[in-house]
Structure 1
Amino acid sequence: MEGAQWDTLLPFFVAGFVSFAVFYLSNILWLRPEKIRNKLRSQGIKGPSPSLLYGNILDMRRIVKEEKETQKGGSRHVSASYTSALFPYFITWRKEYGPIFMYSTGSIQLLHVSHPDLVKEISLCKSLDLGRPSYMQKERGALFGRGILASNGAVWAHQRKIIAPEFFMDKVKHMVDLIVEATIPFLESWDSLLESEGGTREIVVDEDLRSFSADVISRASFGSSYAKGEEIFSRLRQLQKALSKSSILIGIPGLRFLPTKNNRNIWRLDREIRSLILNIANERREGSQGSSRKDLLQSIIDGASAIHAKPNTIDEFIIDNCKNIYFAGHETTAITATWCLMLLASHPEWQARARAEVLEVCQGRLPDADMLHGLKMLTMVIRETLRLYPPAALLAREAFQDMKLGGIYIPKGITLSVLISVLHHDPEFWGPDADEFNPERFAHGISSACKSAHAYIPFGIGIRTCAGQNFAMLELKIVLSLLLSKFSFSPSPKYIHSPAFRLTVEPEFGVPLIVKKL
């Protein structure tokens, strides 16, 4: 009897489940997004028409394919904006709809912003109702988790209170000797390579710079050398590449749960990274009784205990923030140093000027804080590199409540997306040489370099500005000054200029340079 009743009721259960699934998906993929889009349309904001499941993803793929066909066989100027090569759909839509337009990737609704006035409004907004997009924790959870780069609200405020003071200038100044100490074996390894080749050889500089920068952040923040964290950095690099493969597909519901080969690889790397970081944290916790050591790792451990009570929640806090620091603390700095050497190799006159300043200021000695302050020319070169090649391509903020910015009503659920390279290359704010490598524009500081201060945002904006920017600039000055004092650089015939987006913007095929010992 029960079996017969179940056979009778089963079709109703199936029909009910299917109806619920259809309603849920239609709400997620169409009804809710269309409500948001209508609020933007009513203000005169336009954009490409989205499809039901993919939003504008198929259009984006088509435009990228067309751009690749157009650029096939051609070579790009090393200073030219990478936007048209990596994000040609933004260029296409900007021409059609203006500097502010809407688009979508799956269920995610975005408002593209490329006007400094609105960027300024975003930077001035201190409300915690404007924060990191929720898709960062969902789609990029393996890399960012709920760490400082992806969290919001009170949790983020607590994380910022723990981490930011570790990178205040008064503390960073005391890290000069530590960074110099990490640079010496790096320079010695190049010395040995060059001596075996008669003083000149080709070196793929980005690989070595990434290892060097990983060593620096390990020593400065975690009290260990690169050798101890090598497994973590190696897996983070693999994870970064795996996540970037699906970057254009963000927003398609359920895609990250499918057991595809790439997803399985992401899950495996996430487990391994978590285990490795937890081992380091546990070693510190077990050995910290009665210890006076106070570095970033210890601050994170103490901060986790202060806000959480359950052991597993404490571990999550530690793991996620360590992942964030390991990734952001070395990846972006290494990439910037790489682009800087590439640009100096391509512009020997600026390389000569920067080297002459280093030799004059440092007088053959290892740099200290006062010397670094006097490296004005090198600072200009670094700032211009960050303008042409900001390591973070996009700045994104999600509105968690309805709000108004710059006269525009921003509905809850919309993600504001700022393409940094568009601002950094806009002739309206930088002049007709916006696509040229010209460090001289920063001779009188950032405020005098362009017509709008909010057209230059390599470290982000507002309350979410990169906490480690002082540390990054210090590290860049030290490693570049020491490299310039010992070696000269020229382009290798093997170098292929092809910026690639892998969550950060990096050279797709590496940067081989001809390095000569001075």
Structure 2
Amino acid sequence: MANVVRAAFVLASLSLGVYTANHSASTFSYAKTSIFTLIFYIPFHLAWSIFLFPLYFSPLLSLPQAPREGGWKSFFQTRDSRQVLRWMETIPNDGLIRYLDVFNMEVVAVTTPRGAAEFLQVRADQYVKNPKIKRILENLLGNGLVVAEGMDHKYQRKHLLPAFNVKVIKNLYPLFWIKATEMVTLIKQEVETGPKATEKSSASINIDDWAGRVSLDIIGQAGFGSEFSSLSHPNTALNTSYRAAFVPNDNSKLIFVLSLLTTPKLVNLLPGKNNALFREGKRSVTDWVRNLIQERKTDMHNHLDDLDYMEKSGQKDIIAAAMKTKAFSTEDLVHQSKTLLGAGHETSATAVTWGIYILSQPRYAHIQDRLRREIRANLPSPSSGIEVTADMLDKLPYLDAVSKEIMRVYAPVPTVGRVPAQDTDIFGVKIPKGTSVRVHLWAMNKAKQFWGEDAAEFDPERWLVGKDKAMGGATDSLAYLTFGHGPRGCIGRGFAIGENKAILAALVGSFDFKPVPGTDPDDIDVLFGITARIIGGYDVQTTVVEGW
């Protein structure tokens, strides 16, 4: 029915265009006919796409519907996972809820772990990224593992997996700790002697800034075998370019909406300081990555006879491993490198920021204190210079529980969205080709029906007690969706977990975190984009805790 009505609208608009053009001139004109046809077609198309189809003709109108919230302004706003969680718990549904997103774009939200498995695992090959979202990601990251689809994605993942195996990741733990302790040393200097320092070795710091810098240095070493020096020299050309290209700012929400409405390439051309910095930052990062790869390739070519040259020269980073497979061209490696920088670093930094944000709140002071006691009882002080290994970090049960709980409550990637490449179904409900289908990880990870009445509460204990501790007490093993599932699940899961635990241990072992006096931790603005970031970062009162 909907297709018939749409066809009628298109035919009517085209007919009106042709009729008007040829009755406004004495002779037939292809140019005039085309112009008038567009003049009539565009408003008809917009009326159909934005109002008529989603409100009256969608075949999915029979699904449980989420209410329109926020009045007319909501038409220009994307819905976030906090709203979806509320709908999941208040709207009766059998695993699917339909809602209208920005510009009345129709979305089907999957609301159960089994539905998510159907979507992410069982029928993963039937879904692709929304073309609009894919263009935004490709504009930022290139066609790397996050953006690639189908056989291209399978090929990339197959040849990148060796760089993320358990042995490789475990061997990176000492690097995670070295960089975390370097950060601790610099924060101590700021807290004790910086412009905001007090007599009690306490000062306000922006933890998001420090999290971004340490994560960037880690990905520099682990990903590229390069020293970015973001911690010690945050204003180098590369670090400045990176922040301009990948770190969200006050205009990010507007840019995201405009990119959905038009195209990222068109938005890139808009005037303004932030846009100019973004363009220049993206170009500089791309040039740096390409030069690094070309230098590596030249080096490899000069040592063709030595099959173990990369190993002997200490090139054990992720990009070196990818180059060793000889499966990727130079441009392929550029795309993978931008993906590492953008997606890999960003998610790690986000997890650290949310971790300190929640631990700093007074009602969770006992959790912070307990974690500090475990860390100090089992790990050497950052000032000792003693190496910390994977075995040492992985034997700390409370650290593991706190890290898991942070990533449950504040999943760095809030949403996974796809569209079916062909007509399909979920739970017997037909989902037409091109329909936006989403799993809101923030919502699924905190839904009471899977995690119990205290689902929204930050409680590491849920990972320590009872026979279900491996699942955090969830009723379904797939309820913990932070890293996704299936063939597109996070390839860097082990890397992210190890890095997060090392950074948390160094920070909480060294400092006590509290809200800055006179501020409200709940008064934050979150950007739900590729990651869920606190806009402007998070300022936290940081005090040195002696005795370690």
Shorter-chain TM-score bucket reads 0.7 to 0.9
> Against the structure 1 CA distance between its residues 275 and 108, is the aligned structure 2 distance closer, same or farther, given a 3 Å change threshold?
farther
Indicate conservation of the 8 Å contact 2:511/2:542, yes or no.
Answer: yes
Indicate conservation of the 8 Å contact 2:50/2:103, yes or no.
Answer: no
Q: Shift in Å at residue 138 of structure 1? A: 1.7
Q: Give the SS at the match of 1:418.
A: strand
Distance 1:127 1:374 in 2: 35
In structure 1, the partner of 2:511 is: 487
Query: In the alignment, does 2:318 pair up with 1:296?
Result: yes
The equivalent position to 1:100 in structure 2, one of 97, 101, 117, is: 97
Indicate conservation of the 8 Å contact 2:417/2:438, yes or no.
Answer: yes
In structure 1, the partner of 2:5 is: none
Amino acid at match of 2:370: R
The equivalent position to 2:293 in structure 1, one of 270, 278, 281, is: 281
Query: In the alignment, does 2:410 pair up with 1:398?
Result: no
Q: Shift in Å at residue 485 of structure 1? A: 2.4
Indicate conservation of the 8 Å contact 1:43/1:408, yes or no.
Answer: no
Of stretches 486-495 and 367-376 in structure 1, the one that deviates more from structure 2 is: 486-495
Indicate conservation of the 8 Å contact 1:147/1:320, yes or no.
Answer: yes
Indicate conservation of the 8 Å contact 1:57/1:249, yes or no.
Answer: no
Q: Shift in Å at residue 220 of structure 1? A: 0.3
> Against the structure 1 CA distance between its residues 271 and 438, is the aligned structure 2 distance closer, same or farther, given a 3 Å change threshold?
same
Query: In the alignment, does 2:355 pair up with 1:355?
Result: no
TM-score normalised by length of structure 2? 0.77
Q: How does 1:93-492 map to 2 (within 5 A)?
A: 95=90, 98=93, 99-103=96-100, 105-106=102-103, 109-196=106-193, 197=197, 198=199, 199-227=201-229, 229-238=238-247, 243-249=252-258, 251-253=260-262, 257=266, 259-261=269-271, 265=276, 266-289=278-301, 290=303, 291-292=309-310, 293-301=315-323, 306=327, 314-315=330-331, 317-346=332-361, 347-362=364-379, 364=381, 366-444=387-465, 445-492=469-516
> Against the structure 1 CA distance between its residues 10 and 306, is the aligned structure 2 distance closer, same or farther, given a 3 Å change threshold?
farther
Unaligned runs of 5+ in 1: 1-6, 51-55, 68-81, 309-313
Distance 1:121 1:219 in 2: 37
Distance 1:11 1:150 in 2: 44
> Against the structure 1 CA distance between its residues 89 and 471, is the aligned structure 2 distance closer, same or farther, given a 3 Å change threshold?
closer
Q: Shift in Å at residue 432 of structure 1? A: 1.9
Distance 1:39 1:116 in 2: 29
Q: Give the SS at the match of 1:128.
A: helix
Distance 1:43 1:111 in 2: 11
Distance 1:464 1:407 in 2: 23
Distance 1:113 1:93 in 2: 9
> Against the structure 1 CA distance between its residues 294 and 38, is the aligned structure 2 distance closer, same or farther, given a 3 Å change threshold?
farther
Report Cα offsets for 1:252-299 as digits up to 9, x if no partner: 245852643369535444333322322222232233332413532234
CA RMSD, 1 decimal:
3.6
Number of residue-to-residue matches in the alignment: 482
Distance 1:234 1:131 in 2: 29
> Against the structure 1 CA distance between its residues 25 and 456, is the aligned structure 2 distance closer, same or farther, given a 3 Å change threshold?
farther
In structure 1, the partner of 2:527 is: 501
Q: Give the SS at the match of 2:360.
A: helix
Q: Give the SS at the match of 2:478.
A: helix
Distance 1:231 1:512 in 2: 21
TM-score normalised by length of structure 1? 0.81
Q: Shift in Å at residue 174 of structure 1? A: 0.7
Distance 1:400 1:104 in 2: 20
Q: Give the SS at the match of 1:433.
A: coil
Report Cα offsets for 1:473-515 as digits up to 9, x if no partner: 1011111112222222222225443141152222234222222
Query: In the alignment, does 2:59 pair up with 1:41?
Result: yes
Report Cα offsets for 1:128-177 as digits up to 9, x if no partner: 23233222232333213322111201111122123232122111001112
> Against the structure 1 CA distance between its residues 91 and 249, is the aligned structure 2 distance closer, same or farther, given a 3 Å change threshold?
farther
Indicate conservation of the 8 Å contact 2:241/2:280, yes or no.
Answer: no
Q: Shift in Å at residue 448 of structure 1? A: 4.4
Of stretches 209-218 and 24-33 in structure 1, the one that deviates more from structure 2 is: 24-33
> Against the structure 1 CA distance between its residues 409 and 40, is the aligned structure 2 distance closer, same or farther, given a 3 Å change threshold?
farther
In structure 2, the partner of 1:61 is: 74
Amino acid at match of 1:44: S
Amino acid at match of 2:371: A
Q: Give the SS at the match of 1:396.
A: strand
